[in-house]
Amino acid sequence: MGIEEQLPSGVMLSTVEGLAGYARKGSLWPVTFGLACCAIEMMSTGGPRFDIARFGMEVFRPSPRQADLMIVAGRVSQKMAPVLRQIYDQMPAPKWVIAMGVCASSGGMFNNYAIVQGVDHVVPVDIYLPGCPPRPEMLLDSILQLHQKIQDTKLGANRQREIAANEEIALNAIPTSQMKGLLR
Ligand code: SF4
């Protein structure tokens, strides 16, 4: 929105946050983007049986400039990583990312040099969705979880405080390279 950065904190800001969150969560547009087998489940989520249109999301946008949600559906190869990042950079803020499936979340069974071991090495992830592949019901559930997160998103001075707190947590976290996986 732009003007949100100038908003002072207080009761008024809480009201604006609530309204902005409600509008944003009801108008998420995912970017058309599928990397592997998980994308088949993502596509069926858009079909009549699961009907993602119930949540105002029936329009999968072919241009990242018209989208604010990236569903990373499938494993991310090293070759695809810069392309994925470019698409993310072209999306207007605020934007959100769901890592769909174990491959996008952590590399999954592909513990090798060709696959990025978690898409959070490339873009910030809001929701990690487990499963191989996750069923459409699971994707819908993760979208509802994201709705809650969007509803609770802060603006203005409150947002700055939230960013500082998140950065502090990230700096104190164990680096992914030092975490022990199943195959290490
Ligand atoms: S999690 Fe399973 S279904 Fe999804 S991309 Fe990986 S192997 Fe394919």
Q: Determine if ligand 1 sits within 6 Å of the CB of residue 36.
A: yes
Q: Is 73 in the pocket of ligand 1 (CB under 6 A)?
A: no
Give the angle subtended at the CA of 28 by the CAs of 27 and 31, to the nearest 5°.
140
Hey, whose CA ends up nearest to atom 3 of ligand 1?
133
Global pTM reads 0.83
| Cα gap 132→102, rounded to integer Å | 6
Nearest CA to ligand 1 atom 6: 103
- Are 101 and 129 in contact by the 8 Å Cβ rule? The answer is yes
Atom index in ligand 1 nearest the CA of residue 133 equals 3
| Residues across the chain | 184
Residue that wins the pLDDT comparison between 69 and 5: 69
Q: What is the pLDDT of residues 20-75, one digit of tens each?
A: 888 888 889 999 888 999 999 999 998 889 989 898 887 888 999 999 999 999 99
For residue 31, give the 3-state DSSP assignment. strand
Q: Tens digits of per-residue pLDDT, 102-132?
A: 999 998 899 889 998 889 888 989 999 999 9
